[in-house]
Amino acid sequence: MRMLPNLLSLGRIFCGPLVIMLLALQSQTALAFTIVVMLISEASDLADGHIARRYSATSSFGKIVDPLADSLYRAMVFLAFLDAGWMPLWMVAIIVSRDILVSYLRIFSQQNGITLSARMSGKIKAVVQGVIQIATVMAFFIFGLHPEAWVSSLVYAGLLIATLVTAWSAVDYTIGFLRSVDIRDTVANKG
């Protein structure tokens, strides 16, 4: 049971390439399988943290691999959307950049003796991205690979919302990091 959370996280990493492969097939059957893979991936994201806390199976490895798995999986799904022509490059760039930024902020924080904890904006971002990703594939599954303009507009709006929430999360983490460094410097200067 102690290894299960880490195995779930590692499995999520492999779901990303599977989604890319399935979406590249451009068929209704592949879309159905994609939805199943995405639901499994999102369920594993919910389960790994719950299991780790419930059975006191948290680990340093898990604290690294869980956010890494989340970032890699979701980035691969958005790259598959880009390849399919469902979303523009600038949205994918913002989404991927946010995860790179937050990773480096965490590294800088650790180097300065500060823990940059998970923020609510990151949790909201994860939920919004997961829901929008599944809804996007479901829209193309229900309405076909070449839907009417209103469906494409709705998909675009959903992806724009996911992008904006992701950008907000990047700003929130940056402000949290700057405040942590400022507080640390203020305390050090008073000492």
The CATH number covering residue 139 comes to 1.20.120.1760
Question: What is the pLDDT of the chain when averaged over all its residues?
Answer: 91
Q: What is the pTM of this model?
A: 0.90
Question: Mean per-residue pLDDT for 1-15?
Answer: 87
Whether 71 contacts 10, CB under 8 Å: no
Whether 22 contacts 30, CB under 8 Å: yes
Query: Residue with structure tokens 């909201």?
Result: 124
Q: Report how far residue 172's alpha carbon sits from residue 174's, in angstroms, rounded to the nearest whole number.
A: 5
Give me the number of domains the chain comprises. 1
Residue 73: name the closest of 33, 44, 116, 53 by CA. 44
pLDDT of amino acid 181? 81
**29 lies in which domain range?**
4-190
- Decide: helix, strand or coil at residue 86: coil
